[in-house]
Amino acid sequence: MKVLVTGGAGFIGSHIVDMLIAEGFEVVVVDDLSTGNEGNLNKKALFYRLDIQHPELEKIFLKERPDYIAHQAAQKDVRVSVADPIYDAKINILGSINILQNCLKYNVKKVVFASTGGAIYGEQETFPAPESHPLKPISPYGITKLVVEQYLHYYKVIHGLDYVSLRYANVYGPRQDPHGEAGVVAIFIQKMLNGLQPVINGDGEQTRDFVYVEDVARANVLSLKNNTTAQVFNIGTGTETSVRMLFNYLKDFINPSIREKHGPPQQGEQKRSVIACDRAKEFLHWAPSLDLIDGLKKTYEFFYKRSNQDAD
Ligand SMILES: NC(=O)c1ccc[n+]([C@@H]2O[C@H](COP(=O)([O-])OP(=O)(O)OC[C@H]3O[C@@H](n4cnc5c(N)ncnc54)[C@H](O)[C@@H]3O)[C@@H](O)[C@H]2O)c1
C-alpha cells in the first residue's frame, strides 16, 4: 500500500512518514520545504519538492497512484494567517482542493487530514471540548481548517471519498521548530539549553493541551487502517496545562535556577484550550501513550543531542 504524505518533511509529517515506513507502507512525500527540512526526511521515502497548489501535482498522482493521503502540508502559523489571510487561504484551502480533486481522479481510498483542536472551536464553552462543541474559530487559520473539513464532507457525500479529520491539540516533540512563533515547548527548551531567558506571554495562565508527536503520528496510521465510519476525532490528552506550569516543569530538569520572566500578553491569544478524546479511544482504539513529563524529557533529550552535534 502506498501513502502520499503532504508536508512529510515537516515536524508532524516526518514522524508519520517514519511510522508508515516502519509498518511496511511505501511512502511518497510532497513538500515545498517552506517550513520543512530535508534533514527530517526518511531516506526510504520518495521525495517530490512541490507546492500543493501547483498544477504539476497531478503528474505525481498519475505516476505514483497513492492508495492513501496523509495531508499535513499547511500554513500553520495563526499569526501569519492574521497578517496575511489571503496567503493562508491559498495554501490551506486551494492547496487542499487541488489534492482532493486529484484524489477523485486517481481513485484514492482515503484521506487523513491534519485539522486543529486548538483553533477550530474558538474560545471554548466546555472543558474539555468534545467534537460536537460549537465551531467558532477566531483566526483565519482556524477558519481554513473548518472549511477543509466541510470540503471533505462534500467529497464524501457527493463523490464517496473516505476521510478522517484529526483535530490535533498542541503537538510537541522532537523536530519541532524552536525558532518559529508557534511551538512553545520547543522554544522554551531551546532557550533554556542556550542559557537564554524564555519569556512567558502575559500571566502564563493561558492553558493548552499538549500531545506528544509520536502519539499524533500513531493516530494517523490507525486512521488509515481503520474502517470506522466516524470521521472527525480530537487527538489530545484531555489535560489542561498552563504555560507557567509548562515553564516550571521544564526548568526543573533543565535549569532549576532560571526564574520566570513575563512579557506583554499576545493580543487575541486563546485563553483555555483542552479537548476530549473519548471518541478516538472508542473508534480508533487510540489513546495518548506518554504523560507530559515523560514527553518533555524525550523532547529535551532530542534538542540536547542535536545541540551537541551542532557544536562538534
Ligand atoms: N503543530 C501543532 O501543534 C499542530 C496543531 C494542530 C494542527 N496542526 C497541523 O498539522 C500539520 C503539520 O504541522 P507541523 O506542526 O508539522 O508544521 P510544519 O510547518 O513543521 O509542517 C508543515 C509542512 O508542510 C510543508 N508545506 C507548507 N506549505 C506547503 C505547500 N504549499 N506545499 C507543500 N508543502 C507545504 C512545509 O514545508 C512543512 O514541511 C499542519 O497542517 C498543521 O496545521 C499542527
Q: Are strands 210-212 and 110-116 parallel, antiparallel or unpaired?
A: unpaired
- Residue 257 CB contacts under 8 Å (≥ 6 apart), including other chains: none
Class of the 2-168+213-235 domain?
alpha beta
Q: Is 141 a catalytic residue?
A: yes
- Give distance in angstroms: CA of 122 to centre of ligand 1: 20
What stretch of H or E contains 233?
strand 232-235
Does the predicted model carry a pTM greater than 0.95? yes
| Pocket of ligand 1 contains residue 186 by CB under 6 Å | no
| Pocket of ligand 1 contains residue 165 by CB under 6 Å | no
Render each residue's pLDDT in the chain as its tens digit; 312 residues.
Answer: 999 999 999 999 999 999 999 999 999 999 999 999 999 999 999 999 999 999 999 999 999 999 999 999 999 999 999 999 999 999 999 999 999 999 999 999 999 999 999 999 999 999 999 999 999 999 999 999 999 999 999 999 999 999 999 999 999 999 999 987 779 999 999 999 999 999 999 999 999 999 999 999 999 999 999 988 779 999 999 999 999 999 999 999 999 999 999 999 987 788 999 999 999 999 999 999 999 999 999 999 999 999 888 766
The CA-atom distances, in angstroms, between 158 and each of 72, 97, 107, 154 are 24, 15, 14, 6
* C-alpha of 275 from chain center: 15
Is residue 275 within 8 A of residue 234, CB to CB? The reply is yes
| Pocket of ligand 1 contains residue 236 by CB under 6 Å | no
Q: Provide the terminal-to-terminal Cα distance of the chain, rounded to the nearest Å.
A: 40
- Give distance in angstroms: CA of 117 to centre of ligand 1: 15
CATH code reported for the domain at 172-208+239-269+291-311: 3.90.25.10
Domain regions of the chain by residue span: 2-168+213-235, 172-208+239-269+291-311
- Give distance in angstroms: CA of 9 to centre of ligand 1: 9
Could you identify the atom of ligand 1 that is nearest to the CA of residue 141? 43
